[in-house]
Amino acid sequence: MAQATPKTFQRIAGYYREQILTGELKPGSKLPGHREMAKKWGVATATIQNALNQLTVEKLIRSSPRGTFVADDPVAGIAAKDRLHRARVARSVLMEGETSVVTAAALVVPPLYVAEIFDLDHGDQVVRREFTTGRGSTRLSFQVRWYPAHFAASVPDLLSTNAGKNDDLTTKILEATGRSITFARDDMHGREADAREASALGIKTGSAILAGAHRWGDDEGVIEYGEWCLPPRMTIGYEYQP
């Protein structure tokens, strides 16, 4: 049996986290037993327990005398990193079973800080899209995404509020422009929800939320800048290589 390292259980937790978030493991699905998982991964059962403890903290799984199960309604947000991975493997930034409602899509003159992110001159426009994601009756996130204005000419769906055209926009943009995402950055902070965010998430104004922003781009500049927020008690997590 291979000796487990501190990151072994993180890799195992990451494997099952991705299966849950992508819908490969459905809510209520039973996970293999500790011994079976230990044999599969070539580690001690204690390492498996550490991995499952992490997923329990994230509220992705639940345990009972009958075994370990995917949470019926996983209280987990989706990191921008996971959405980018999903776009690459499945052409969609939405996870399995996740839906979106698009409330705005238009060419606008952005706030100064967004103009600076895209290196725009005063008065230049960008595409701004606003939508809420959910799974069943659970609202998962409120998002605003920004794109260079000229993308709309080659990807008209950027200006559509049709929810069916929302999930694969990142893939359509990359295919139409011939660009590829070679750098990505996430920033997150806790704060209170403003009235617009609270309305979209179905919570009270001033509720504590986790908010963040991501930038995806290449040597030519930013391809997509997104801002998002999650309702209270949602957990977000992802692996990275130290």
Question: What integer pLDDT is reported at residue 145 of this predicted model?
Answer: 98
Q: Contact at 8 Å (CB) between 172 and 194?
A: no
Tell me the three state secondary structure of residue 160: coil
Q: Which residues contact 235 (CB under 8 A, 6 or more apart)?
A: 57, 58, 59, 60, 75, 76, 77
Question: What integer pLDDT is reported at residue 220 of this predicted model?
Answer: 96
- Which DSSP state fits 120? P
- The one-letter code for the residue type at 222 is V
Can you tell me the distance from the alpha carbon of 21 to that of 44, in angstroms, rounded to the nearest whole number? Answer: 25
Can you tell me the distance from the alpha carbon of 18 to that of 112, in angstroms, rounded to the nearest whole number? Answer: 36
Question: What integer pLDDT is reported at residue 3 of this predicted model?
Answer: 47
Question: What integer pLDDT is reported at residue 9 of this predicted model?
Answer: 86
Question: In angstroms, how far is CA 184 from the centroid of its own chain?
Answer: 13
CA dihedral 59, 102, 97, 211 (to 10 degrees): -20
* Tokens read off for 9: 């259980």
Burial class of residue 62 (count of CB atoms within 10 Å of its CB; 0-12, 13-18, 19+): middle
Residues lower than pLDDT 70 in the chain? 1-6, 22, 73-76, 238-242
- Which DSSP state fits 105? E
HSE of 10 in the Cβ direction (CA atoms, 13 Å)? 9
- Which domains are delineated in the chain? 6-70 (1.10.10.10), 80-230 (3.40.1410.10)
Q: 210-215 contacts: CB < 8 A, separation 24 or more?
A: 210/77, 210/234, 210/236, 212/80, 212/186, 212/187, 212/188, 213/186, 213/187, 214/80, 214/184, 214/185, 214/186, 214/187, 215/117, 215/183, 215/184, 215/185
